[in-house]
Structure 1
Amino acid sequence: MIKNIASYLTLALTISVLLYASFKTNETIDLSEYSTKGLVLNYNMDLDANINDNIDASNDANEVFSPYLGKSFVGFKEALAFKESRGDYQCVNTYGYLGKYQFGKGTLKLIGINNPNKFLKDPKLQEKAFVANAKRNKWILRRDIKNFVGKKINGVLVTESGILAAAHLAGPGSVKKYLRSYGMNNFADGYGTTVSNYMKKFSGYDTSFLKADRKAKAI
């Protein structure tokens, strides 16, 4: 009994010392220099990914929080942005494509943006441009979405998000050719990325948020 009491007193004393030390310290963690630049991040998590670590001990489903974007529209655009530029708003590639989503100057003009330099410095405008361009592509490809979604081409299930991602890469005209040739006409960009690659990589996201709009503009 005496040994047990002594053990409890020792444990209590140890905890008190640790707590006192933690309150006395003036050290803080400086996060001002923290950056994800150069890190290899992965947005392509499987839908079955285990997120139990985010579940509160109460096991109340209403109290669960997870930063995992899944197959949401935000997940779609952020995954596409990461593939295009690793999410860098100021990125300009070797072919002159601009920003987080790597827009060409011709495409920017179609959605009302005539100042590429201003576009490159304006994250909000870049986000608006992505949505406007996707809405415009959805209108152009509306019949192909209706006719091909649910079918398999080159072993890849055709989905609306896959079509829209491929249109972002190659333009809606190239996607039409790919679908209507059943994969025989498979456009590749300057880095060798094909329509089929994007169809597969960005399959199954929820893009119902986007409404087809022939006249969609970012400005």
Structure 2
Amino acid sequence: MSKTFEDFLTALAQKESSRRYDIENYSGYLGKYQVGEYALIDAGYYLHDGTGARKNAEGKYVDNDWIGHWTGRKGVKSKVDFLSAPEAQEDAIRHHVANLWKQIKALHLDLYEGTTVNGIVITKSGMIGGAHLKGVGGLKSYLKSAGRNIPKDGNGTSIEHYVSTFGGYDIESILKEACGATDNAENHRAMTTVGQSRSKTKLAKKHVGNGGNAQHYVVRPGDTLSRISRMHNLSVAEILTVNPSITDRNRIAVGQKLVIPSDKTASHSYGKTPYAPASHPQVGSTPRQPWWGETFVGGFRKKWN
């Protein structure tokens, strides 16, 4: 039986607080999962108080002074309320996990899944565990350095220890559910009116047509709409017209599938297939990119001189 998301939370809580809801550590992290200000800001419980890091009694810099305002979500209006509210803490950790995963995807760190760093197979749950300890920035430093950079928290616990300890849990369903709900909310806010959305969809159908007069392109690391449009002999406006889901021309995600009108597509086949991963399991700098002196052809790595 696979280890579930609930198993992941149980293990995380045991590691962080011995599953105590009422605990606050010397750095100001709160509750069963030891969350800080930024986690609760993202989860909708706390408002940014505008203060930076300060020294605690032991001379260590901490960000969690909790002198700002609480939003009142789930009746939590103070630090004391939060420490005595199990329901709020369970809600907050789920939002925190979803937000961490969105940040991981935004930095394309999800592409490291399945690679090996210092003998550790990188998994979604392991990345969440590492980001919970040292933030997504710490996770980025660790992965992009191929494990040469190993950030540690104030207690000397390494991000590598968390990536390993919390790896291998099946958290796919909760990530899809949580991130999907967040994505839908953001897409809804991005649309100025329902009428505009419907108009864009009708216009897209008109340009693509019903006879399959289009192809698809999967966004790769380093791609921009300008680059993709030049690759297919199109304008950015033409691509936006048939992809009404794009609300910000400067924000496209690796792995996102775009519709490309085929009537003006250039004759070369560059970029028509999804970005294939290299067969080498150990990361260098960025995964799923050709090694120097190699290129991908039909999903296989080939040498070129």
**2:175 aligned counterpart, secondary structure:** coil
* 2:137 paired with 1:173: yes
**SS class of match (1:210):** helix
> Deviation at 1:177?
1.5
TM-score when normalising by structure 2: 0.46
Bigger Cα Rg = 1
| Residue 131 (str. 1) matches residue 94 (str. 2) | yes
Q: Does 1:77 align with 2:40?
A: no
Q: How much does 1:149 deviate?
A: 0.8
| Aligned amino acid, residue 168 of structure 2 | G
Match of 2:263 in 1: none
**Partners in 2 of 1:106 and 1:151 — Cα distance?**
29
SS of residue paired to 1:100: coil
Which residue is equivalent to 1:40? none
Q: Distance in 1 between matches of 2:82 and 2:126?
A: 26
**Structure 2 gap ranges (5+):** 46-69, 71-77, 187-305
CA displacement at 1:119 relative to structure 2: 1.3
Letter in 1 for 2:39: T
Q: How far off is 1:105 after superposition? A: 2.0
Kept in 1: contact 2:42–2:95 (CA 8 A): no
Q: Greater helix share, 1 or 2?
A: 1
- 1:121, 1:98 → 2: CA distance? 11
CA contact 1:73–1:206 (8 Å) conserved in 2: yes
TM-superposed CA distance for 1:140, in Å, is 0.8
Match for 1:161: what amino acid? S
Q: Where do 5+ consecutive residues of structure 1 fail to align?
A: 1-46, 48-69
Q: Of residues 128, 133, 152 in structure 2, which corresponds to 1:188? A: 152
Residues 126-135 or 179-188, more deviating: 179-188
Match of 1:144 among 101, 104, 109: 109
User: C-alpha separation between the residues in 2 aligned to 1:198 and 1:168?
Assistant: 9
- C-alpha distance after superposition, 1:75-132 (max 9, x if no partner): 0011001000000000111211100000112321222112322211110000010000
Counterparts of 2:131 and 2:91 in 1: how far apart (Å)? 17
Q: Deviations over 1:164-217 (max 9, x none)?
A: 01111111111111111111221100111111000110110011122334779x
- Answer yes or no: is the 8 Å Cα contact 1:131–1:210 preserved in 2: no
Q: What CA deviation, in whole Å up to 9, does each residue of 1:32-75 have, x standing for no partner?
A: xxxxxxxxxxxxxxx7xxxxxxxxxxxxxxxxxxxxxx611100
**What amino acid is the match of 2:162?**
Y
Cross-structure match for 1:50: none
The alignment-based identity, stated in percent, is 37
Q: Which moved more, 1:174-183 or 1:113-122?
A: 113-122
**What is the Cα-based RMSD across aligned positions, in Å?**
1.8
For 2:125 and 2:89, the matched residues in 1 are separated by 19
**Structural mapping, 1:59-70, within 5 Å:** none
What code does the residue aligned with 1:76 have? F
Task: Please report how far the alpha carbon of residue 162 of structure 1 lies from its aligned counterpart in structure 2 after TM superposition.
Answer: 0.2
- The whole-number CA distance in structure 1 between the counterparts of 2:38 and 2:102 is 18
| Alignment-mate amino acid for residue 37 of structure 2 | K
Other-structure match for 2:254: none
The answer to whether structure 1 residue 210 and structure 2 residue 175 are counterparts is: yes
AA partner of residue 132 (structure 1): H
Corresponding residue number in structure 2 for 1:54? none
Residue of structure 1 in register with 2:80 after alignment = 117
Aligned residues: 147
* 1:99 alignment partner AA: G
Instruction: Compare the two structures and name the one with the higher strand fraction.
Output: 2
Of residues 13, 16, 19 in structure 2, which corresponds to 1:87?
19
Code of the residue aligned with 1:144 in structure 2: it is L
Separation in 2, partners of 1:116, 1:164: 25
Q: TM-score, with normalisation over the residues of structure 1?
A: 0.63
Query: Deviation digits for residues 115-168 of structure 1, max 9, x if unmatched?
Result: 3222111100000100001001111112211x1111110111101000001111
- Alignment-mate amino acid for residue 168 of structure 1: H
Does the 8 A contact of 2:42 with 2:99 survive in 1?
A: no
